[in-house]
Amino acid sequence: MPTTAVAARTDRIELRTTREEKRLLAAAAALERLDVTSFILRNALPAAREVVDRSERIVLSERDTARVLELLENPPKPTPALLAAARRRSARA
């Protein structure tokens, strides 16, 4: 039977709460038969992943998508400023 490696939780995060918030978290964790750490992580990690995914993704409108594809297929000629920057860059390399 193959075993899967489980990453050990060795890092710590301190969390300050009110007494009532702590009681509520403990009660909810107990109802789910989890410890408080597992309860918090199970609920917070999906939200964290969604925030990170949303910040790393660019959603274009149909018009903008068409414009990007058009520019990829028919790129504009480089401007004088771009050519000068490329010359400066290659001179440094």
pLDDT per residue, tens digit, the chain (93 aa), is 555 666 888 999 999 999 999 999 999 999 999 999 999 999 999 999 999 999 999 999 999 999 999 999 999 999 999 999 999 999 987
- The three-class DSSP label of residue 31 is helix
pLDDT (0 to 100) of residue 48:
98
- Considering its fold, how many domains does the chain have in total? 1
Residue 49 lies in a domain: yes
Q: How far is CA 84 from CA 69, 72, 80, 89, 91, in A?
A: 26, 22, 6, 9, 11
pTM recorded for the entire structure: 0.59
pLDDT (0 to 100) of residue 85:
95
Q: Where in the sequence is the domain holding 60, given as residue range(s)?
A: 19-92
Contact (CB, 8 A) for 25 and 17? yes
Side chain identity at 19, as an amino acid letter?
R
Residue 6 lies in a domain: no
Residue 10 lies in a domain: no
- The three-class DSSP label of residue 68 is helix
Residue 66 lies in a domain: yes
